[in-house]
Amino acid sequence: AQSVTQLGSHVSVSEGALVLLRCNYSSSVPPYLFWYVQYPNQGLQLLLKYTSAATLVKGINGFEAEFKKSETSFHLTKPSAHMSDAAEYFCAVSSAGRRALTFGSGTRLQVQP
Amino acid sequence: EAGVTQFPSHSVIEKGQTVTLRCDPISGHDNLYWYRRVMGKEIKFLLHFVKESKQDESGMPNNRFLAERTGGTYSTLKVQPAELEDSGVYFCASSQGTGSSYEQYFGPGTRLTVT
């Protein structure tokens, strides 16, 4: 079985500050890991993915995440927050044997001016 | 290239009625998925089609839910009869049949409200 835990349902940062959204996963097989973002009234958009290549993954809009097997983590970071980053972010896991995504509960990011 | 589309965007029905949601995947995508997010909860997997076949339907909550994908193109998800706990946002996603990316492209969702 697979599971994802996202610490913090709401995160608030100031514009220009570091963004850190936490994700820990559990998987009995090598995982594939994803971060999705949902802007208001839109579908989920893929930010980045880890599929067993480089452990530091760079995505769109300046986001990146690092796969740390020893910590079972895949935290999302961005050096400098923009107002346009305000959205809900989801971490998800799947595997080669099961393509269905298992999602975390989501983290709503608020960016203060 | 058109993305994943879903219809309707919103649906309000009474308990006991029937509702049919439709999903049109990205052209050429063999894999089609349905997910649901109930208010305040995480997004949950419902089922996975490969072309017209159900590959994994382990997430379907009960037999009031029926999913079809005729001809391996668009898919429908019927809820009959609807219950209050069926309210939520239903997402559809699609992905290519080959390759290791496993990247799923999501539609905007259908918000279902059962009163």
Q: What secondary structure does DSSP assign to chain B, as a single string?
A: ----EEE-SEEEE-TT--EEEEEE--TT--EEEEEEE-TTS-EEEEEEEETTEEEE-TT--STTEEEE-GGGS-EEEEESS--GGG-EEEEEEEE-SSSS----EE---EEEEE-
Tens-digit pLDDT profile for residues A74-91: 999 999 999 999 999 999
Using the Cβ of A62 and the Cβ atoms of chain B, whether some distance falls under 8 Å is answered with no
Name the percent of chain A lying above pLDDT 90. 81
Tens-digit pLDDT profile for residues A30-69: 889 999 999 988 889 999 999 877 889 999 999 999 999 9
**A53 or B30, greater pLDDT:** B30
Size of interface A-B (CB pairs under 8 A): 61
Considering chain B, what is the average pLDDT of its residues?
A: 92
The confidence score (pLDDT) of residue B96 equals 86
Residue of chain B minimizing CA distance to A40: B108
Q: Which pLDDT band, with edges at 50, 70 and 90, does A19 fall under?
A: very high
Cα distance from B48 to chain A (closest Cα, Å)? 7
Give the CA angle between residues B6, B93, A75 to the nearest 5°: 130
Give the mean pLDDT of B81-94.
96
Of A36, A45, A99, the CB nearest to B102: A99
Residue of chain B minimizing CA distance to A99: B102
Q: Which pLDDT band, with edges at 50, 70 and 90, does B99 fall under?
A: low
**Residues A103, B48: C-beta atoms closer than 8 Å:** no
**Residues B101, A49: C-beta atoms closer than 8 Å:** yes
Token digits for A30? 């090598």
The confidence score (pLDDT) of residue A39 equals 93
Q: Which pLDDT band, with edges at 50, 70 and 90, does B1 fall under?
A: low
Segment 20-49 of chain A within 8 Å of chain B by CB: 32, 34, 36, 41-46, 49
* Range in A41-50, A94-103, B77-86 with the lowest mean pLDDT: A94-103
Integer angstrom CA distances of residue A67 from A58, A109, B73, B85, B101 = 11, 21, 35, 36, 16
The confidence score (pLDDT) of residue B101 equals 59
Give the mean pLDDT of B17-31.
95
Tens-digit pLDDT profile for residues B41-64: 899 999 999 999 999 999 999 999
